[in-house]
Amino acid sequence: MYHYTDFDAAFLKERNAQFRAQVERRIDGSLTEDEFKPLRLMNGLYLQLHAYMLRVAIPYGTLNSRQMNQLALIAERWDKGYGHFTTRQNIQFNWPQLRDVPDMLDALAEVDMHAIQTSGNTIRNVTADHFAGAAADEVTDPRPIAELIRQWSTDHPEFQFLPRKFKVAVTGAEADRAVIKAHDIGLRAVKREDRIGFEVIVGGGLGRTPMIGKVLFDFVSQEDLLPTLEAIVSVYNLLGRRDNKHKARIKITVHENGIEDIRARVDERYALIRPQFTGVDQTLLARIKANFAAPQFLKGDSAPYHSAYKHDPLFRSWADTNLTPHRNPDYAIVTISLKAHGKTPGDATARQMRLMAGLAQRYGHDELRISHEQNVILPHVHKGDLPSIYYALKAEGLGTANIGLISDIIACPGMDYCALATARSIPIAREIATRFDELNLEHDIGPLKIKISGCINACGHHHVGHIGILGLDRAGVENYQITLGGDGTEQAAIGERAGPGFSATEIIPAVERLVMAYLDLRTVPEETFLQTYRRIGMAPFKAALYPEEQANAA
Amino acid sequence: MPSKPFTPKVITANALLEGDVVYLTGDNWTRDLSKAEILTDEADADLRLIEASAQSDKVVGVYLADVTVNGSVPVPVHFREDFRAKGPSNYAHGKQEQF
């Protein structure tokens, strides 16, 4: 876990003092809203539909118990007692008052956290595999490099006014749990003859024009990574379109100029700036790595786990869905579902945050993660402690056994909160989860990712959902479009639009028809929704979605 | 081409300090849409919008929102304005607590 240096702490203190003065000047009338808005956005403060919203970065999704407890305190003292974990591993507070925000930022600084560059046309919070450091399939822990990138990109003077926002994701494993191909830059650690390097993917992104990222370089050594990133962002900074907001992301730059052209420009820029990187970053990286040393794994007794697994069917169900193999066979990775049926995806109350912090401290080597799928992870848990953890979680409404299943839905805040939204997302997610819980089919359906966005900007990653739902405003009525076959993993694919959209009341039955069709169409229960879709294509699902058209055609 | 006939409007914004959705009532701002002043004359609405926008010490993001008039009470035309008037649908954290 990275701890701030004196330099980091001093920098943040100064930034927070500046922002406090800016807020005061806005309130006393010295600054107009036009002057203040870019300043507040630089510090993560948005004005949403009903209130301000403070977006706090959780770098590469890693937290310790002290930080989680502080988020709980902030939620209670300055918000309405909860926080919303986002698809970018951030947390959003939905109800802060302007006067309180400087105090909130100071409270965050106490635990090495901030909201800098969680908005604006800058390099945003660097995200990473939420199982980093724990996954069995990992080449290296991606977080030290993510932290190095965070330090390099924070307040980077050249990159404060990019053509558009810029998102970087890193994974250390072959299995992509960080959706790296849907990021402006995606990095995957690879090993070549005992040397660690990175595959560099550029130009991925969702939103209005979804694109799967392209491989720019298949291997960049660790020493060359930062100058390579600087060269890429530098090329984009000059070449990226500033004339049209909808064409300003690097995915369009890559698409319009071609990957070869971009590569040539990056090579040229790289040659120019490489000498400026004298190796300081590598000294820094070595220091950062020491912060991420693996915990001292315990040698305990796993018998309580086996006993609970044998005797308690609820525990068994939870263990089957919410646990992932850890690289230490005595350990497990626990995913805590923030998707209780009928609740708001990604929300946690202060009380729940404190419980999770306490469990991490007691059983989890003091580590927590936030996943882009809006769940919380205890990455290092000895198997013997799993029953204690499960029963504690269950008592606070956090014991839902649904990870990777139909009710583990990603949903953006949508028009319940977001000023950009064109329709609501949260009620659709809640109703789908509730419906399939009533049908008691969730576990029979098996792995199925539904992702819902309340506008074309795709914060809910609908394009990479096995079933994607996009909420739009069609002539003053909420309307929901379905895409099928999307995939956010290493086999990344953009979902295909199924046809005309559905109203808010039609969308739940439509999803139900789709899922029932899948249950009929799969060859064996083990064939997942996505596999079935890939085998038979859109037509049978379309028939299920639009039975009337089918009847008319006949 | 004839321009579209003017439809009733209210002036709305967010409060600077709290961020709450507010509506103009004469010279003041209310959080309750039913108390908002209904503007039925286009020239008057434009003028009132300019005046309201000048109150940047109190409000942010001033604009005209379409309403229909039920009796003498303004009712939102678009669902976005309906949500703004009530608050989010997932928790009673917005105005549904008050109104």
Task: Kindly write down the DSSP assignment for every residue of A328-392, as one continuous string.
Answer: STTEEEEEEPS--TTSPTTEEEHHHHHHHHHHHHHHSTT-EEE-TTS-EEEEEEEGGGHHHHHHH
pLDDT per residue over A271-311, tens digit each? 999 999 999 999 999 999 999 999 999 999 999 999 999 99
Taking one residue from A and the other from B, the number of pairs with CB-CB distance under 8 angstroms is 71
Choice between A59 and B5, residue whose per-residue pLDDT is larger: A59
CB burial string A117-150: b at 16+ within 10 A, e below: bbbbbbbbbbbbbbbbbbbeebbbbbbbbbbbbb
Does the structure show a pLDDT above 90 at B95? Answer: no
Does the structure show a pLDDT above 90 at B2? Answer: no
Q: What pLDDT, on a 0 to 100 scale, did the predictor assign at position B4?
A: 81
In contact, A139 and A196? CB cutoff 8 Å = yes
Q: What percent of chain B has pLDDT over 70?
A: 94
What chain B residue is nearest to A35 in terms of C-alpha separation?
Answer: B56
Q: Name every chain A residue with its beta carbon within 8 A of the beta carbon of B61.
A: 33, 47
pLDDT per residue over A145-198, tens digit each? 999 999 999 999 999 999 999 999 999 999 999 999 999 999 999 999 999 999
Does the structure show a pLDDT above 90 at B93? Answer: no
pLDDT averaged over chain A?
A: 97
Bridge partners, A477 (sequence order): A474
**A368-370 and A62-63: which strand pairing?**
antiparallel
Q: What pLDDT, on a 0 to 100 scale, did the predictor assign at position A27?
A: 97
What chain B residue is nearest to A430 in terms of C-alpha separation?
Answer: B90
Q: Which amino acid is at A31?
A: L
In contact, A332 and A388? CB cutoff 8 Å = no
Q: Taken in order A47, A50, A54, A58, is the CA torsion positive or negative?
A: negative
Q: What is the largest CA-CA distance in chain B?
A: 46
Choice between A86 and B93, residue whose per-residue pLDDT is larger: A86
Q: Name every chain A residue with its beta carbon within 8 A of the beta carbon of B90.
A: 344, 416, 426-427, 430
Q: What percent of chain A has pLDDT over 90?
A: 99
pLDDT per residue over A241-263, tens digit each? 999 999 999 999 999 999 999 99
What chain B residue is nearest to A420 in terms of C-alpha separation?
Answer: B80
In contact, A442 and A406? CB cutoff 8 Å = yes
Of A50, A99, A427, the CB nearest to B87: A50
Collect all residues from B whose CB is shorter than 8 A from any CB in A: 14, 16-21, 56-57, 60-61, 77-80, 83-84, 87-91, 93-95
From residue A295, give the alpha-carbon distance in Å to each of A74, A188, A365.
28, 23, 7
Q: What pLDDT, on a 0 to 100 scale, did the predictor assign at position A407?
A: 98
The distance of Cα A265 from the centroid of its chain, to the nearest Å, equals 30
Collect all residues from A whose CB is shorter than 8 A from any CB in B: 26-27, 29, 32-33, 47-52, 80, 94-99, 344, 415-417, 424, 426-427, 430, 473, 476-478
Q: Name every chain A residue with its beta carbon within 8 A of the beta carbon of B60.
A: 33, 47
**A376-382 and B28-30: which strand pairing?**
unpaired
Mean pLDDT in residue range A201-206: 98
Instruction: Using alpha carbons, select from A159, A303, A333 the residue that is nearest to residue A238.
Output: A159
Contacts 24+ apart (CB under 8 A), A91-94: A91/A55, A91/A56, A91/A58, A91/A370, A92/A53, A92/A54, A92/A55, A92/A56, A92/A413, A93/A53, A93/A54, A93/A56, A94/A48, A94/A50, A94/A51, A94/A53, A94/A413, A94/A417, A94/B93
Q: Which residue has the tokens 């607590």?
A: B97
From residue A229, give the alpha-carbon distance in Å to each of A158, A180, A260, A270, A278.
13, 15, 17, 9, 15
Q: Name every chain A residue with its beta carbon within 8 A of the beta carbon of B91.
A: 80, 344
Q: Taken in order B45, B50, B54, B56, is the CA torsion positive or negative?
A: positive
CB contact under 8 A, B77 and A476: yes
pLDDT per residue over A430-475, tens digit each? 999 999 999 999 999 999 999 999 999 999 999 999 999 999 999 9
pLDDT band at A529 (very low <50, low <70, confident <90, very high): very high
CB contact under 8 A, B18 and A27: no
What chain A residue is nearest to B53 in terms of C-alpha separation?
Answer: A33
Total number of residues shown for chain B: 99
- Walk me through the domains of chain A, giving residue ranges and CATH numbers: 6-109 (3.90.480.20), 134-291 (3.30.413.10), 303-395 (3.90.480.20), 410-553 (3.30.413.10)
pLDDT per residue over A74-132, tens digit each? 999 999 999 999 999 999 999 999 999 999 999 999 999 999 999 999 999 999 999 99
Q: Name every chain B residue with its beta carbon within 8 A of the beta carbon of A476.
A: 77-79
Q: What pLDDT, on a 0 to 100 scale, did the predictor assign at position A554?
A: 56
Shortest distance between the Cα of A31 and any Cα of chain B, in A, equals 9
Q: What pLDDT, on a 0 to 100 scale, did the predictor assign at position A552?
A: 72
Task: For residue A201, give the 3-state DSSP assignment.
Answer: strand
CB contact under 8 A, B88 and A50: yes
Q: Can you tell me the distance from the alpha carbon of A27 to that of A33, in angstroms, rounded to the nearest whole number?
A: 10
Of A98, A344, A473, the CB nearest to B90: A344
pLDDT per residue over A3-36, tens digit each? 999 999 999 999 999 999 999 999 999 999 999 9
Shortest distance between the Cα of B92 and any Cα of chain A, in A, equals 11
User: What's the token pair of residue A216?
Assistant: 């720019």
Does the structure show a pLDDT above 60 at B1? Answer: no
Instruction: Using alpha carbons, select from A346, A457, A428 the residue that is nearest to residue A55.
Output: A346
Q: Which amino acid is at A361?
A: Q
Q: Name every chain B residue with its beta carbon within 8 A of the beta carbon of A80.
A: 91, 93
Determine which of A31, A41, A49 to mutate to test the interface with B (most B C-beta atoms within 10 Å): A49
Q: Can you tell me the distance from the alpha carbon of A83 to that of A104, in angstroms, rounded to the nearest whole number?
A: 13
Shortest distance between the Cα of B49 and any Cα of chain A, in A, equals 16
Does the structure show a pLDDT above 60 at A228? Answer: yes
Q: Name every chain B residue with its beta carbon within 8 A of the beta carbon of A417.
A: 88
Q: What pLDDT, on a 0 to 100 scale, did the predictor assign at position A35?
A: 96
**A195-202 and A185-192: which strand pairing?**
antiparallel
Q: Name every chain A residue with its beta carbon within 8 A of the beta carbon of B14.
A: 47, 51
Q: What pLDDT, on a 0 to 100 scale, did the predictor assign at position B26?
A: 86
Q: Can you tell me the distance from the alpha carbon of B13 to that of A500, in angstroms, rounded to the nearest whole number?
A: 34
pLDDT per residue over A374-406, tens digit each? 999 999 999 999 999 999 999 999 999 999 999
Mean pLDDT in residue range B9-33: 96
Determine which of A26, A40, A50, A452 to mutate to test the interface with B (most B C-beta atoms within 10 Å): A50
Rg (CA), chain B: 14
CB contact under 8 A, A97 and B17: yes
- Checking ipTM against 0.90, whether it exceeds it is yes
Q: What pLDDT, on a 0 to 100 scale, did the predictor assign at position B3?
A: 73
Q: List Cβ neighbours of B80 (8 Å cut-off, separation of 6 or more).
A: A49, A415, A473
Q: Taken in order A251, A53, A118, A135, is the CA torsion positive or negative?
A: negative
In contact, B17 and B65? CB cutoff 8 Å = no
CB contact under 8 A, A417 and B61: no
Mean pLDDT in residue range A45-69: 98
